[in-house]
Amino acid sequence: MSRGFIKEDDLEHAGTDLPERLVSLHPNYVTPEGLRQLESEASGLDKERATLVAIKDDELAKQKLAVTDRDLRYLSARLEHAILVDPANQNKSTVLFGATVKVEDEEGNILQFHIVGEDEADIAHHKVSYVSPIAKALIGQKVGDSVSWKRPAGVLQLEIIDINYQKAEI
């Protein structure tokens, strides 16, 4: 008989075939803040896991446990391969990992980007991954240099007006 005609409890198998979270093939560079963020997230998931393990015979708890375990495996892999880069030790005259860069576009608009690791990238806070197109365009440049940012909306010329390695205040 086809499995399509068999009625099973939907929760019985839901969440048991979760795909793993993909781990980037790029080196896992992290700022001190990014490392703390990963550690904090792993710690929170450990606590959540302990709570979920204590709940017996609850299908919803089993699903949440499967998601938590998967996320813990991902974070463990990211922490195991983390390469800490302290922005305080970077060459202050050149855009490198950990820099906060102020640029001016062709129309005089000022933009700011903080170049961080993949896991701490958050465009809402102007944090961009070091493998993003904007970071790739900026890395290695100096104040006064002009770069081309290749975007889906078209190429935008940017001039670097400031490089800072302090914590970004955005």
Cβ atoms of 65 and 52 within 8 Å: the answer is yes
CA–CA distance, 94 with 30 (Å, rounded to integer): 18
Per-residue model confidence (pLDDT) at position 40 = 97
| CATH-assigned architecture of domain 87-164 | Roll (3.10)
Q: Give dist(CA 15, CA 37) in Å, integer.
A: 26
In this structure, are residues 113 and 138 in contact, taking their beta carbons and an 8 Å threshold? Answer: yes
Domain ranges of the chain: 27-84, 87-164
Distance CA 10, CA 143 (A): 59
**pLDDT in 10s for each residue of the chain, 170 residues:** 455 554 445 445 555 578 999 999 999 999 999 999 999 999 999 999 999 998 878 889 999 999 999 999 999 999 999 999 999 888 899 999 999 999 999 999 999 999 999 999 999 999 999 999 999 999 999 999 999 999 888 899 999 999 999 754 44
Q: Quote the CA–CA distance of 62 and 15 in Å, as a whole number.
A: 8
Whether the CB-CB separation of 66 and 17 falls below 8 Å is answered with no
Distance CA 51, CA 48 (A): 5
Under 8 Å between Cβ of 129 and 144? no
**Residue 166 CB coordination number (10 Å):** 9
- Output the pLDDT for position 86: 92
